[in-house]
């Protein structure tokens, strides 16, 4: 077959993929234990972000802290010392969350009993889930193992999740895309800034939470947590992105990227035409701002599945409409906008619903084309939190990076075999 014919087939396949992705109707349907979504998940098995790791020796500080804290949290270990010893001895098993259609936010892990916010695509019936967001800073997903972190987690995974799940059921599910669509008009990017989306979500669930039949004390505590956590919507947003992108998997010859993620040791992508196969490269360097008393020398490697937001064309791809994120790229809104607009050069289309007012309501870039990435040398940009290199500390800043070009070249070479 000629190169021109191959290119034409890829173009038609890519259009089919973005049409499938754009047709997704993500609905938050409730909170379920991970074992209900991933029945094969075994005891002492932990699902982490990104491509599969070879073992504990590859786990970065944030992931090590999250695993140890989870072992203590679920009383599988008496204390952190025993938890680390168990992991070092190979007692725990590690697996890729993304491969099970669940998502690890930063270094956070998913075990059998982990409550997940579950999103269903009403177009395809596909499900995806992510753990409840704990807030910024000293969170288990950033490797923090402090007593306060674990106590907050105990509350979120018991009383809080019961109240919120009941409220979601009373609402009959929540239209995630409608919230994202509106939040983009209010200064969010759909990844690193979730203030508008979290506020919109709170206004959606507040009434059914009050009517859910719990005591006024329990209800007030749950509402207070939502009101003070401006990052709460993130796991809902990325689960929504995952089900949408999953709809585009498995289209032969398509060069569209359906997943980007990193495990702290490697950055990986997947493309539609090679469903389920990872193409990996080095973990990207992050550039950004650090909390007071921390610097680049304290930073651990990037890890997380939340780059699925950028894969859908949100996050850094939508920074032109989120001026508050300018500090991530050196403090200049113009620079943030320039990098976001550059992403249109490596994407197939624009999202029909997700639009950026600052760009004349232009749709967000949709369908990263690995062929265009390789041709132009423009690497996809993404935003990320930054954790301390050592387990137990937590978040120390936030910034941005670019996906390694090697992943896209390798994906194309595989398709052309």
With respect to residue 36, please indicate whether it lies within any of the assigned structural domains. yes
pLDDT band (50, 70, 90) for residue 185: very high
Q: Check residues 37 and 385 and name the one with the higher pLDDT.
A: 37
pLDDT at 102 over 60: yes
> Which CATH number is 259's domain given?
3.90.1700.10
Question: Are 207 and 348 part of one and the same domain?
Answer: no
With respect to residue 242, please indicate whether it lies within any of the assigned structural domains. no
The SS3 of residue 322 is coil
pLDDT at 5 over 70: no
Q: How many domains does the chain have?
A: 2
With respect to residue 2, please indicate whether it lies within any of the assigned structural domains. no
Question: Are 297 and 163 part of one and the same domain?
Answer: no
CB proximity list for 370: less than 8 A, separation 6 or greater: 255, 256, 257, 269, 271, 407, 408, 411, 412
With respect to residue 127, please indicate whether it lies within any of the assigned structural domains. yes
Distance CA 204, CA 217 (A): 20
> DSSP per residue over 367-416, as a string?
EEBHHHHHHH--PPEEEEEEEBSSTB--EEEEEEEE--HHHHHHHHHHHT
pLDDT of 21 reads: 98
Cβ proximity of 304 and 98 under 8 Å = no
The residue-averaged pLDDT of 94-110 equals: 93
The fraction of the chain above a pLDDT of 90, given in percent, is 78
Tokens of 410: 């390798």
pLDDT by residue (tens digit) across 314-348?
A: 999 999 999 988 887 667 889 889 999 999 999 99
Length of the chain as a residue count: 417
> Among the three residues 210, 237, 264, which one is the final residue of a domain in this structure?
237
Distance CA 394, CA 220 (A): 28
> Which CATH number is 173's domain given?
3.90.1710.10
CA dihedral 290, 295, 300, 305 (to 10 degrees): 20
Question: Are 221 and 264 part of one and the same domain?
Answer: no
pLDDT at 158 over 60: yes
Domain limits for position 44: 10-237
Instruction: Select from 98, 232, 246, 123 the least CA-distant residue to 175.
Output: 123
With respect to residue 255, please indicate whether it lies within any of the assigned structural domains. yes
With respect to residue 183, please indicate whether it lies within any of the assigned structural domains. yes
> DSSP per residue over 10-25, as a string?
HHHHHHHHHHHHHT--
Distance CA 108, CA 381 (A): 22
pLDDT at 380 over 50: yes
The residue-averaged pLDDT of 305-312 equals: 97
Question: Are 201 and 281 part of one and the same domain?
Answer: no
> Among the three residues 173, 208, 237, which one is the final residue of a domain in this structure?
237
Distance CA 181, CA 361 (A): 11
The fraction of the chain above a pLDDT of 70, given in percent, is 97
CB proximity list for 64: less than 8 A, separation 6 or greater: 56, 84, 87, 143, 391
How much is the pTM?
0.94
């Amino acid at each position: 077959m000629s190169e021109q014919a191959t290119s034409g087939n890829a173009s038609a396949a890519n259009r089919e993929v973005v049409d499938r992705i754009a047709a997704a109707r993500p609905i938050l349907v409730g909170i379920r234990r991970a074992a209900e979504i991933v029945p094969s998940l075994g005891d002492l098995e932990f699902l982490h972000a990104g491509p599969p790791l070879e073992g504990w020796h590859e786990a970065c500080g944030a992931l090590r802290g999250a695993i140890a804290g989870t072992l203590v949290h679920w009383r599988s270990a008496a204390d952190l010392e025993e938890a680390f010893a168990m992991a070092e001895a190979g007692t725990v098993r590690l697996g890729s969350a993304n491969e099970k259609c669940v998502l690890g936010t930063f270094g956070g892990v998913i075990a059998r009993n982990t409550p997940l916010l579950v999103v269903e695509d009403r177009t395809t019936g596909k499900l995806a889930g992510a753990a409840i967001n704990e807030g910024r800073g000293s969170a288990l997903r950033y490797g923090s193992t402090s007593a306060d972190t674990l106590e907050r987690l105990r509350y979120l995974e018991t009383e809080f999740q019961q109240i919120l799940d009941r409220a979601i059921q009373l609402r009959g599910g929540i239209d995630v895309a409608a919230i994202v669509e509106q939040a983009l008009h209010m200064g969010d990017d759909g990844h690193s800034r979730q203030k508008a989306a979290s506020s919109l979500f709170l206004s959606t669930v507040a009434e059914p939470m009050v009517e859910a039949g719990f005591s006024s004390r329990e209800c007030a505590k749950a509402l207070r947590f939502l009101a003070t956590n401006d990052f709460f919507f993130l796991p809902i947003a990325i689960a929504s992105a995952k089900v949408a992108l999953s709809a585009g998997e498995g289209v032969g010859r398509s060069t569209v990227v359906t997943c980007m993620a990193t495990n702290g040791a490697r950055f990986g992508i997947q493309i539609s035409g090679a469903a389920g196969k990872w193409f990996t490269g080095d973990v990207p360097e992050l550039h950004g701002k650090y909390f007071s008393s921390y610097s680049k020398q304290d930073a651990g490697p990037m890890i997380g599945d939340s780059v699925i937001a950028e894969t859908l064309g949100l996050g850094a791809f939508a920074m032109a409409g989120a001026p508050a994120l300018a500090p991530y790229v050196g403090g200049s809104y113009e620079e943030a906008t320039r990098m976001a607009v550059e992403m249109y050069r490596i994407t197939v289309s624009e999202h029909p619903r997700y639009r950026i007012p600052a760009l004349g309501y232009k749709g967000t870039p949709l369908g990263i084309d690995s062929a265009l990435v390789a041709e132009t040398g423009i690497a996809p940009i993404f935003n990320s939190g930054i954790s301390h290199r050592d387990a137990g500390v937590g978040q120390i800043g936030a910034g941005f990076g670019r996906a390694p070009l090697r992943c896209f070249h390798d994906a194309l070479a595989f398709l052309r075999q």
